[in-house]
Homo-oligomer: A and B are copies of this chain.
Amino acid sequence: MKLSTKGRYGVMAMVNLALYDHEGQVALKQIAEHEGISESYLEQLIAKLRKAGLVQSIRGAQGGYKLAKSPNEISVGEILNALEGILAPVQCGDNVNCCHNSSCKVKPVWEKIHTAVNDVVFSIYLSDLIKE
């Protein structure tokens, strides 16, 4: 039930982008330095965020990244979903990590956890995190 660095770094990077949102794009190098993260690694993460439509890239010299939407339109849930996949403790029905038992008694537990986590992360927006 731990988050990997993908999700952790990703949210950190997005907060960073939100902080510098008003002054145009920010180079990946800057973010990596600010957060003390490997730049090469962050590259992979932000690629996913771009494909998810959360950030926008400007190529070439003086290029960089910026948020694709306003900070109050991007939730932590979207970020984590893009990087970590579905936030369920068990994904029932994927026929490998599930019990294959028709009278499964614990499935409701996994579902409740999933719902509770989603309720939290989809109700917190970047704008909530950058104001003090």
Contact = CB atoms under 8 A, between A and B. Distances in A.
Contact of A109 (B2, B88, B113, B121): B121
A15 B124 contact: no
- In the complex, which range does the number of interface residues on chain A fall in? 35 or more
A89 B129 contact: no
Contacts of A87: 1
B100 A15 contact: no
Nearest to A37: B99
- The A interface is mostly helix, strand or loop, or mixed, namely helix
A80 B106 CA distance: 13
Interface of A: 1-3, 5, 7-8, 11-12, 15, 35-36, 76, 80, 84, 87-91, 97, 99-101, 105-106, 108-110, 112-113, 116-117, 119-121, 124, 129-130
